[in-house]
Structure 1
Amino acid sequence: MAFRHVVLGGGTGFIGKRLSKTLIANGYEVTTISRMPSVKSITWHDLEKDGLPEGTSAVVNLAGQNVLDPTRRWTPGFKQNVWNSRINTTAACVRAIEKATIKPSVFVSISGVSHYAGGPQINTEDTETVEFDFMSRLCHEWEKAANLSDNSICRSVKIRSGVVIGRDGGMIKSLILPFWLGLGGPIGDGRHDLPWIHIDDLCQLIKYAIEKPEVAGVLNGVAPQMITNLEFTKAFASALIRPAVFPLPEFVLNLIFGTERAVLLTKGAKVSPKRVQELGFQYQYPDIRSACKNVARMF
């Protein structure tokens, strides 16, 4: 295997922990970048001061403050933290790559499907995007921060992730208890689109991007099955063998999270992984029923 040493920003988070395990199980050495130093870890300050560790063959950045942390009010300070934790860490990775004498082969950065506005149109990686709210502006700047210089020999892959389905974090961790108690239900009328991907498929897609030299540019990190929030609700409740008849009014989420970030739960777009499928990537969980059965089994 040509790629052996991955430097991973955000390696202690929900996705980062699973990705780190996946890579190590496949024979990679992984060095995480975090705020606190530890074994097999460097700090962001270390990265700025000393650059990439010797022998780095790939850099992946998943770092970012949890936007949907219900314990944090949507204040200007928290918004700035959400912004900086993504833009600044991505820019730090780019600076380290540009300064490296021996460049890594690939830089994989992640952003979100908030690039895409809701509506009947199906959005692919070729869809022209515009900034229309806070989250879309964040995603645009996030990807812009990941741009390498025009003459860089390091390949760049930008993955726009949908809602990540996994037992240990994200939406499922928030929903599993109320659904288990029979108190789950759709958000509003549940008709809005919900672009999603199982965490194992996202980790495998990142690994695929690292290993395949033909992979470059934007990839939509979503499952091939496009669903609504209501379809997710039915699949998740069915997997848990529980009813789901208590809709959550949209205004409640707007009160809890603030309208600007509640859109992550109350709005959505139709997103297709056209390029991912054209490249031949194989999904382990291509449909929401199989994904929900997997996370329900882990409960």
Structure 2
Amino acid sequence: MRVLIGGGTGFIGKALTHLLHSRGHEVTVVSRQPGAHRITWNELTSSGLPPCDAVVNLAGENILNPFRRWNEAYQKELLSSRLDTTYMLATAIAGATQPPQAWVLVTGTAYYQPSLTAEYDEDSPGGNFDFFSNLVSKWEAAAKIPGNDTRQVVVRSGILVHAIEKNHVKGILNGVSPASSTTNAEFAKALGTAVGRPALLPLPSPAVQAIFGQERSVMLLEGQKVIPRRTLASGYQYTFPELQAALKQAVS
């Protein structure tokens, strides 16, 4: 299949591109930066949708960028970065002579963290695993965020490929693992085991709030319990359904 990925230069986009290539698919990325196997958003608007069988939109400003202040201007930028790119892709799809077979939107991924990668996003630098791995290397301990009921879950590019390849998949799929009830303490312990460091030092809530602001810190300190009921019902099989195996794969 020929797959067009909006915002494909980020950590999820790169993992998705790699997986699609491994399965014999062709990938074109829509990005602000031109390059090989890429088109820019301006080119998409002016020239329309290139020939493709599936479109995925991953574009959006990183909501947990610690270098941006949490103010009204940044909040508007976060919203517009998702709405505008979705509108541009939807408009291009609507005007295409041969529209794609699949149209996949990814939203809310910042709530499902940390991502198990330290990749650099050319369009929107940042990644939650960077945050955790840096703490591990500097403190030589897996960071433990306070909050007994915080759930840390992993977005998996395999679910996106499943949605692209399977014609029967429709509606909303939660991109989390079956073991999404893992708490921060359990995640910290598993991460410490994976990197060979003890999970001893807690990350103080005031520090998180000082860096990310009151509203954003809730995403790190509290979280949500999300169950992939429809994802499993659609026939998707997880490569790493358990946290420990996923972490060992990530750090290796």
- Is the shorter-chain TM-score for this pair beyond 0.5, marking a shared fold? yes
**Secondary structure of 1:191's match?**
coil
User: How many percent of aligned residue pairs carry the same amino acid?
Assistant: 39
1:244 aligns with 2:199: yes
Instruction: Verify the 8 A CA contact 2:114 2:152 in the aligned structure 1.
Output: yes
Q: How many pairs are equivalent?
A: 244
Relative to its length, the structure with more strand (as a share) is 1
Match of 2:133? Answer: 176
- Work out which of the residue numbers 77, 82, 92 in structure 2 matches 1:81: 77
Unaligned runs of 5+ in 1: 115-134, 136-160
Matches of 1:271 and 1:165 in 2, distance apart?
18
1:286 aligns with 2:230: no
- Work out which of the residue numbers 44, 53, 58 in structure 2 matches 1:47: 44
Instruction: Verify the 8 A CA contact 1:165 1:196 in the aligned structure 2.
Output: no
CA change 1:176–1:162 in 2 (3 A) is closer
Matches of 1:182 and 1:244 in 2, distance apart?
9
- Work out which of the residue numbers 141, 159, 164 in structure 1 matches 2:115: 164
Match of 1:109? Answer: 105
Instruction: Verify the 8 A CA contact 1:162 1:222 in the aligned structure 2.
Output: no
Q: How does 1:65-214 map to 2 (within 5 A)?
A: 65-112=61-108, 163-168=114-119, 170-180=127-137, 181-188=139-146, 190-197=147-154, 202-214=156-168
Question: Aligned partner of 1:193: which letter?
Answer: T
Matches of 2:188 and 2:99 in 1, distance apart?
45
Matches of 1:173 and 1:185 in 2, distance apart?
12
Matches of 1:92 and 1:101 in 2, distance apart?
16
Matches of 2:176 and 2:132 in 1, distance apart?
20
Deviation at 1:99, TM superposition (A): 1.1
User: For residues 169-214 of structure 1, what are the alpha-carbon distances to aligned partners after superposition, in whole Å with 9 as ceiling and x for unaligned?
Assistant: 62222111322342433212x31332412x6xx2111111011011
**Secondary structure of 1:218's match?**
coil
Matches of 2:168 and 2:82 in 1, distance apart?
26
Matches of 2:25 and 2:241 in 1, distance apart?
26
TM-score by length of 1: 0.77
Unaligned runs of 5+ in 2: 121-126
Deviation at 1:28, TM superposition (A): 1.3
CA change 1:203–1:221 in 2 (3 A) is same
Of the structure 1 ranges 67-76 and 25-34, higher mean CA displacement relative to structure 2 is found in 67-76
Matches of 1:113 and 1:8 in 2, distance apart?
16
Matches of 2:152 and 2:145 in 1, distance apart?
15
RMSD after superposition: 1.8
Question: Aligned partner of 1:179: which letter?
Answer: V
Question: Aligned partner of 1:172: which letter?
Answer: F
Instruction: Verify the 8 A CA contact 1:195 1:222 in the aligned structure 2.
Output: no
User: For residues 205-242 of structure 1, what are the alpha-carbon distances to aligned partners after superposition, in whole Å with 9 as ceiling and x for unaligned?
Assistant: 11110110110000000000021111101100111121
CA change 1:113–1:82 in 2 (3 A) is closer
Q: How does 1:22-37 map to 2 (within 5 A)?
A: 22-37=19-34
Instruction: Verify the 8 A CA contact 1:162 1:221 in the aligned structure 2.
Output: no
**Secondary structure of 2:93's match?**
helix
Question: Aligned partner of 1:76: which letter?
Answer: E
Question: Aligned partner of 2:25: which letter?
Answer: Y
Runs of 4+ in 1 over 6 A off after TM superposition: none
